[in-house]
């Protein structure tokens, strides 16, 4: 049975006291039983941040400032927002954002998002691409680690052909890893 989390009296799931985060987080959407929406409550200490400047290809996010006055960076540049502000970050590069708290007081934020998987997120300052396969699951591909799409497909097809040939040889009585007959 889901909990009934309270954003005014949270039970924190994670504490990240060191830079660059300096934050606490509670996955209130998951605790409430949400399956299609994510909702995470953050408390950012002065000098803290939620994530790098990024955008999502599949998911939209909504920021509700419950306390403090964080700085939100968008394609229009950084600007300080006040308690009560609500900002939407739609899918795509136009929804790029980062949230930080230069202080002087802590900031309390609720971030709500759709939970469509798989998702691709791009960190614009570094060129890193994230392949997100589920809540807090996936792989990161730093800039320069990519290969052309057709090369990746060709390599996968060659590996499949080799695996099929080896399986055929094993089925014919050859030991695994043996040179194919013929």
Mark whether 49 and 105 lie in a shared domain: yes
Mark whether 171 and 88 lie in a shared domain: no
Mark whether 97 and 24 lie in a shared domain: yes
Residue 8 lies in a domain: no
Cβ neighbours for 104, distance < 8 A, ≥ 6 positions apart: 46
Distance between CA 28 and CA 22 in Å, rounded? Answer: 19
Please tell me the total count of domains within the chain: 2
Q: What is the pLDDT of residue 104?
A: 94
Q: Residue 164's domain spans which residues?
A: 145-175
Find the farthest-apart pair of alpha carbons in the chain and give their distance in angstroms, rounded: 75
Mark whether 24 and 110 lie in a shared domain: yes
Mark whether 112 and 158 lie in a shared domain: no
CB of 87 closer than 8 Å to CB of 72: yes
Q: What is the pLDDT of residue 145?
A: 84
Residue 180 lies in a domain: no
CA of 95: how far to CAs of 8, 58, 63, 124, in Å? 28, 11, 12, 12
Mark whether 151 and 97 lie in a shared domain: no
Residue 7 lies in a domain: no
What is the domain-level CATH number for residue 117? 2.60.120.10
Q: pTM for this structure?
A: 0.82
Mark whether 22 and 35 lie in a shared domain: yes
Q: What is the pLDDT of residue 136?
A: 79
Mark whether 164 and 136 lie in a shared domain: no
Residues in the chain with pLDDT < 70? 1-2, 174-182
């Amino acid at each position: 049975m889901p909990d009934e989390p309270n954003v005014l009296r949270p039970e924190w799931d994670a504490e990240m006291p060191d830079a660059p985060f300096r934050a606490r987080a509670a996955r209130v959407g998951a605790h409430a039983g949400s399956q299609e929406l994510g909702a995470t409550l953050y408390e950012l200490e002065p000098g803290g941040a939620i994530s790098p400047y990024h955008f999502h290809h599949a998911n939209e996010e909504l920021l509700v400032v419950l306390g403090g006055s964080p700085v939100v960076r968008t394609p229009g540049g950084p600007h300080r927002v006040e308690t009560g502000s609500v900002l939407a970050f739609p899918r795509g590069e136009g929804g790029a954002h980062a949230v930080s708290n230069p202080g002087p007081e802590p900031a309390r934020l609720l971030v709500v998002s759709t939970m469509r998987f798989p998702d691709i997120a791009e960190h614009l300052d570094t060129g890193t691409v994230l392949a997100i396969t589920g809540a807090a699951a996936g792989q990161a591909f730093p800039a320069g680690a990519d290969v052309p799409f057709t090369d990746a497909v060709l390599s996968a097809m060659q590996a499949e052909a080799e695996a099929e040939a080896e399986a055929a040889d094993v089925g014919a009585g050859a030991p695994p890893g043996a040179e194919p007959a013929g």
